[in-house]
Structure 1
Amino acid sequence: MSETSETSTTTTVPEEAPSPHATTGATIELEHLTKRYPGSSDPAVDNVNMEIKAGEIVIFVGPSGCGKSTTLKMINRLIEPTSGRIRINGEDVTDIDPVRLRRKVGYAIQSSGLFPHMTVAQNIALVPKMTGWGKQKIKARVEEMLDLVGLDPGEFHGRYPRQLSGGQQQRVGVARALAADPPVLLMDEPFGAVDPITRDHLQDELIRLQHELHKTIVFVTHDFDEAIKLGDRIAVLRERSHIAQFDTPEAILTNPADDFVSGFVGAGAALKRLNLTRVRDVEMADVPTVTVDDPLQTIFDKLRASGTNELLLLDKRRRPYKWLRRGDLMRAKGSLARAGTLVHDTVTRDATLRDALEAVLTDNAGRVAVTGRRGEYTGVVDMETLMNSVQEMLEADRLEAMEHQHELEEQRAQLTHQEQEGHAGEAKA
C-alpha cells in the first residue's frame, strides 16, 4: 500500500460547534517519536524530535518510503507510536483516547476520501451531525465552509462527489477537514492526484485559507517545489524520518545542510526562489477596464482617452473575459461577440512569481491578469515586473554569498591569529 492510501473513515470528530471566534493553530511537539513494525529489524520512524509552532505550515519532504506519511499519521494516532511523546498545545496526547485526539486534528488526503453515496453537504455535515449539532447550525456551517473554499453553496450543496472535478473534490475534502474548526490540519499529499494546473490553483487556495485561518498545518509531499511554495518551514527527511534539515525555504535554498539536501534543491535555486515571493508582494500594473454592459461607444472613448492600445473586458462579475485592442474594436461592427482575445489564464494574488512567470511566458503579449478570491480583476503583472524581481533576488543572493565569504575569511584570520599567539607563547616558555 502506498504512503498516501487511506480510507475516509478518519474524519475529524469535533466535540462541539466552533465558537464564533475561529480557533487558530496549536503547537505540536514530537519527542523521540518512534515506530517499529513487527518482523522488521529497523524502525520505520526512528527517534524524531521536532517542535512545530502554532499557526505555521510545516512541510515533510523526502524520498518515497522515508517515513514521512507514517510520522504524519502518528500525530493523530492513525498509526500508533511504538514509543515517544506527542504534545499538542502542551497536552501529552500519547495516552488519551485516539478519538478524542482526532477531535482536535483535521485530516485531508489524496483523492479527497469523500463518501460517494453522500452529497457534498452531507459529507461536510457528517461529523457535526454525529456529535448532535442542530439542523440550522449544521446548515450554516456547511454553507460557511463551502464559501470558505470558494464553492457556491447553492450550486454544490446537493451534488455528489462523482459530479465534481478532482479539484472540486479536494476543496470539499478540505472543507470537511476544517468543519469542526480544529487547531491542527494534517494533509497527506492532498494535491498529488490532480493535474498540474488544478494543483497550482489548490495550492494558492490553501495559502489564501491559511491567511484567514492561521491553523497549524503539517503537509506531506514528495515535490520540493510544492514544499517551497507552501511551507513556512520545511523538514527534509532521510530514511526512517531522520531530519536532514529543518529550516525556512530561503535558508534551505541558499544554504543546504549537505549533499542529500542539495539533491532535493536541485539545479536553479535562484529560479526556485520565485516560489517564495507572491504576486501580492510586487507592484502590479493596471490597464483600463470596461465591462460587457458598457456601450460600444463608451469603450471606444475609454480606449482613446487612456492612450494605450489595449483594454481588458470584464464580465458581469468583474472577472477578466477578453483583451480588446484598437483593431478589434474597429472590426467589432456594433458587437463585441467576436471581437478580442479570450483571457485563457489568470493568477491570483496568492500565486507565486513562478506561477506568474509561466503564465506570462505563454501569453503573446507578455502579461497576465491578477484576480482576487472571487475571480474579480485586481491588476496585471507583466514581464518587466517579473524580470526586475528576478534581478533583485539574484543581487540579494550575490550579496549574501559575499557576506558569508567575508565571515569565513574573518573566522580563518582569527584562527590563524590564535594559532600564532599560541606558538609565540610556547616559544617564550
Structure 2
Amino acid sequence: MPESPATPESPDAPRGAAAGATLAEAAPGGGAASGASIELEHLTKRYPGTSVPAVDDVSLEIKAGETVVFVGPSGGGKTTLLKMINRLIEPTSGRIRIGGEDVTDMDPVRLRRKIGYAIQSSGLFPHMTVGQNIALVPKMTGWSKSRIKARVEEMLDLVGLDPGEFLGRYPRQLSGGQQQRVGVARALAADPPVLLMDEPFGAVDPITRDHLQDELIRLQHELHKTIVFVTHDFDEAIKIGDRIVVLRDRSQIAQFDTPEAILTNPADDFVSGFVGAGAALKRLNLTRVRDVEIGDWPTVSVDDPLQGIFEALRSGRTNELLMLDRRGRPYKWLRRGDLMRAKGSLAAAGTLVHDTVTRDATLRDALEAVLTDNAGRVAVTGRRGEYTGVVDMETLMNSVHEMLEEDRLDAMEHQQELADQRAGQERDPEAGA
C-alpha cells in the first residue's frame, strides 16, 4: 500500500537530501519525514522448482534522499528486487536495512505502511473516491480525522490537483495522468521516508508521461524522499535519477553510477547497449529548462478587447502574441495575419497551444516541443499550468553546442591521460605491472 513529505539537507546527498530518517521517525505525530538510507546485503530470491535464482546475491547502498533508478532487460528481476525492499516478495536470504534499521524480520504489514508504493496504472481502488484513496494509509495508521482531512487536501495540492474539484471524484472520472498523480499522492500521504515506484508512468501517453516525470522531479525538490524507481526506459532513468543501477539478468549489477558517468563512460558493452546511439544528445536529459535563460513573450488575455489585441500586435517586437486563458494558461498563438481574418471574432483565429514545458522539464523535452511546433519556441508553465515565459530554439541550440564542446574537450583530455600513462610505462615498465 502507498504513502509521504520532507526536510533538511545533507551536503553530500543529491538534490539537498536530508541526513536520513529511520522508519520509527516516520510514525504519525512527528514532523515531515526526510529520506532514509537503504542497504541491501547479499539479497537473493529463489523460487521453488527453479534452478536459477530470480535475484542473485545483490548488495547495494542507496543514500538518504536520493533518487535511484533500476533499469535492465525485461524479466531480469528489477521488480522482484524492488518488491523485496518492502517485502511484498520475501527474500530467500540476505538482509534489508532502512535508515540503519534491519527490517528483514519486521512485521511486513507494519513495514509497508511506512514505505510509499506507486505502481503502473495507479492501483487506485475504483469503489473509493480520490479522498478516500489518499486517506487509506493514514487512517490505517491511526491518524485523527482532522489530520487526515488536512493531509489529503495538502497532498492533492502538492501534485497539482485542486482539492475542491477532485476530492469527491472516483478514479473512473479521472484521466490517466490524473490517476497517476493521485497514486503518487496516496503513496506520499502517510509521510514515509522511502517511496518505491514500479513503472509508474508506463501506461500513459508520451506527453503526459513527460509532465508526470517533471512533476516527480519537482516533488523531490520539495520533499527529499529516498526514491527507488523501476523502468525499462533508459531515457527516463537519465532524466529522473541521481544515480542509475543498470541490471543484468538475475539483477546482477552491471554499473551503478550517475547518469553523466554512465553516458560518458559505460562500464562494458552491455551498458553501452542501454545507452545506445547519440550519448551526447541524451545529455540533454541532464539539463533542466530552469538552468537556461527563460525569455519573455508578448501576451494578451482572452478577455482583452479585440482592438487592444490589434494594437499589441502592431506595436510589438514580434509578429506573434501568446493569448492566455482566464487562468493565465497558454491558449493560442496569434499572428498578425490571423487577426486580419478574425472579422471581429477571435473564435477561429490563431493556433491552439498543444505543447508546453515546465521549469523541471529537460532540454530534450523542450527541443522536441519546439521541433513539433515548428515555430522556434515553446511556452514554459508553472505548477498549475500558468504561463511563466518561453524557451526558444537559439537558446536550446547554444546549450547543445556547449555540451558537444564539453564532450570534445573531455575526449581530448582522456586521450591525453592515456598518452601520459603509456609514456610513463615506457619510462618505467615496472610501474604498469
Contact 2:3 2:185 in 1 (8 A): no
Equivalence for 2:356 = 346
SS at match of 1:138: helix
Superposed, which structure 2 residues align to 1:198-347 within 5 Å? Answer: 198-347=208-357
CA distance in 1, matches of 2:295, 2:137: 46
Deviation at 1:223, TM superposition (A): 0.8
TM-score (norm 1): 0.92
Give per-residue Cα distances to partners, 1:161-206, cap 9 Å, x unaligned: 1111111111111111100011100001111111212111111111
Equivalence for 2:14 = none
Contact 2:40 2:95 in 1 (8 A): yes
SS at match of 2:380: strand
Matched, 1:361 2:371: yes
Contact 1:57 1:216 in 2 (8 A): yes
CA distance in 1, matches of 2:176, 2:309: 39
Contact 1:60 1:237 in 2 (8 A): yes
Matched, 1:68 2:78: yes
CA distance in 2, matches of 1:225, 1:54: 24
Change (3 A) 1:25 1:360: same
1:383 equivalent among 374, 385, 393: 393
CA distance in 2, matches of 1:194, 1:363: 21
Equivalence for 1:427 = none
Matched, 1:152 2:179: no
CA distance in 2, matches of 1:285, 1:247: 34
State the one-letter code of the partner of 1:190. Answer: P
Count, aligned residues: 412
Matched, 1:128 2:146: no
Equivalence for 1:197 = 207
Contact 2:2 2:113 in 1 (8 A): no
SS at match of 1:194: coil
SS at match of 1:362: helix
Equivalence for 2:19 = none
Deviation at 1:306, TM superposition (A): 2.9
State the one-letter code of the partner of 1:98. Answer: P
CA distance in 1, matches of 2:405, 2:293: 19
State the one-letter code of the partner of 1:229. Answer: K
Larger Rg over CA atoms: 1
Gaps of 5+ in 1: 1-9, 423-429
State the one-letter code of the partner of 1:219. Answer: F
SS at match of 2:261: helix
Q: Which moved more, 1:220-229 or 1:334-343?
A: 334-343
SS at match of 1:396: helix
Contact 1:18 1:181 in 2 (8 A): no
Deviation at 1:134, TM superposition (A): 2.3
Equivalence for 1:426 = none
Equivalence for 1:177 = 187
Change (3 A) 1:48 1:196: same
State the one-letter code of the partner of 2:129. Answer: T
SS at match of 1:106: strand
Contact 1:16 1:133 in 2 (8 A): no
Identity over aligned residues, as a percent? 84
Deviation at 1:334, TM superposition (A): 3.5
CA distance in 1, matches of 2:134, 2:102: 29
Deviation at 1:317, TM superposition (A): 1.1
CA distance in 2, matches of 1:286, 1:153: 31
State the one-letter code of the partner of 1:127. Answer: V
Q: Which moved more, 1:180-189 or 1:132-141?
A: 132-141
Equivalence for 2:11 = none
**Aligned alpha-carbon RMSD (Å):** 1.8
CA distance in 2, matches of 1:398, 1:107: 42
Matched, 1:93 2:93: no
Contact 1:35 1:82 in 2 (8 A): yes
Equivalence for 1:7 = none
CA distance in 1, matches of 2:84, 2:430: 54
SS at match of 1:347: strand
Matched, 1:106 2:116: yes
State the one-letter code of the partner of 1:395. Answer: E
- The 4+ residue runs of structure 1 with deviation greater than 6 A are none
Deviation at 1:420, TM superposition (A): 8.3
Deviation at 1:393, TM superposition (A): 0.8
